[in-house]
Structures are given as structure tokens and as C-alpha cells.
Amino acid sequence: MGARSILVALLGIAVAGGSAFGAREYLDRSSAVASTDPEAALVTVIVAGRDIPFGQPIQPQALQVMSWPRAALPPGAISDLDVLVPKPGMQPRRATRAMAQGELILASKVSDFGEKVTIVQTLGENTRAMAIKVDAETAVGGFVTPGDTVDIVMTQGGGDKLRAVTILQNVRIIGVDQQSDQQSDQPSVARTVTVEVTPQQSQTLALAQKAGTLSLSLRTLDSAVDEPLDSIRLSDILREKSPVEEKAVSKATVRVRRANDVEVVEVE
């Protein structure tokens, strides 16, 4: 029974190795066919043959060779398969950004061989990851997902001194609880949300968490110009009438003829 189990395991390893070798050979042949075309100024590049989630190992089965216009080739595009696929015994490279099928594989979107991939790889230059406590009410009912952008509103005080102020605008969500996959569109009620902020914004956020309650305001996908917003107090919204524009009431009029003139007179 033990010998049979070992035989099955060895057979599985052989099949897996054969699949990887076959995929690599296919990509090598495709690369030869899609070599540089001097007349059309095309170059060979490696693209994602299927969706590659964040943190996923880069495997030859998930890659595809394509011809790409040299003039439109972005910096960091990878054209050599050996740069991506590990040699036997080496640890794989991993996706530091989620990549869609057909997307160019860029050096900035993959880790080094064997490098650990964490949420740090999703941060922009000179930015920080900071977590804030939220619940269903303060996190848009759980509809905030990684990749969304939000405004952060602080509510402070009580009674007549209660006020709200927008402390940060256009902040990117990079994690919801332990989930950082931007391809996920499933809402969930989170306890913490991790945002990407500058060092100065992180100080503002740290103070705001101690001073009051933070709420997230989910932004539209359309770009918008951020403008400074004044804080609003409870007294600003407690009005005698609802905040609806008053429409001018038209008055009835009559035309009165006097001598050779006609005068329009309003009727009370």
C-alpha cells in the first residue's frame, strides 16, 4: 500500500512537471514565431494569458506571447520568458498587482524570485498603510471594497456642539479587514479598513481617530476636483423650514386703460 502511494505521488509530480515544461516549450516556440518584425516595428512581449490575482505565482501556463508595436511599448515591459519563469529549484515570482487577461506583464507588477508579496507592494511612492476602525454605519453599509476611493468625515462633540468635518479626500482603500484583492466585488461588514495615506495624512488620521468618530463617504468613479469644505454644526441643519429653495409666487394682474396708456396692476 505504501509503495502504491509513493508511485501515485511520483506520477503526479511527473505530470505536473511535464505540464510546466510543455507550457514553457509552447511559449518558447511562440516567441520564435512572434519575433521582431523590422517592417512593422513589432516586438515580442509577454502578456497575461488569463487573470492573475494579487499574490499569485507567475506560472508559464498563465502567460502568452504577443507582438506589440515598438513605439507603444511602455517602460518595464518584459519580453524574455526566462525573466519571469523560475528555473528548476527556484521559487516563483508573484504578482504585486492584479493583472487582467491580455495585460502586459511589467517589471513593476511582479516580485523578485521567492520574494514575499504583501500589501506593501500596493503602496505608492512615499505613502503609508494605516488602518481605521469602522462598522456597518461608518463604512457605507459594507459596500467599500479594496481599490475604492473615499472621503473621511470626522464627527465630534455632543449636543449643540456636535459637528462634522471632512478631514481627508480621495483616499484609496487598500484593504478591508484581511482582504486586499481589488478584483473582489463582494461587500462585507468590516471592522477595520486600511487606507493609503501620506505621512502627513497619517498624523491627521491618528488624531482624528482619538478625537471623534470616523465615517467613510464612497466616491464616484468619475474624477472630481477636491475643494476645501467647511465644518458643519448641528445648529446649521436645525432650521425652522426644510432646506428647499423658495419659489416666487406669481400674482394675478389686470390691465387698466387710462387715457391713451395701458397700465398693468397687480391684484392683492
CA 163 centroid distance within chain: 30
74 and 104 in contact (C-beta within 8 Å)? Answer: yes
Whole-number pLDDT of residue 207: 94
CATH T-level topology, domain 2-117: Type Iii Antifreeze Protein Isoform Hplc 12 (3.90.1210)
User: Does the pLDDT at position 60 exceed 80?
Assistant: yes
Whole-number pLDDT of residue 32: 43
Rounded distance between C-alpha atoms, residue 76 and residue 103, angstroms: 13
Rounded distance between C-alpha atoms, residue 164 and residue 74, angstroms: 44
Check residues 247 and 100 and name the one with the higher pLDDT: 100
Closest CA to 200 of 176, 156, 168: 168
In this prediction the pTM is: 0.56
Average pLDDT in the chain: 77
Q: Assign 246 a pLDDT band (cuts: 50, 70, 90).
A: low
User: Does the pLDDT at position 182 exceed 90?
Assistant: no
* Cell 475604492 belongs to residue: 148
Closest CA to 78 of 110, 126, 122, 116: 110
* Cell numbers given for 86: 523560475
DSSP3 helix / strand / coil % (the chain, rounded to 5): 25, 30, 45
Helices then strands (H, E): number in the chain? 3, 10
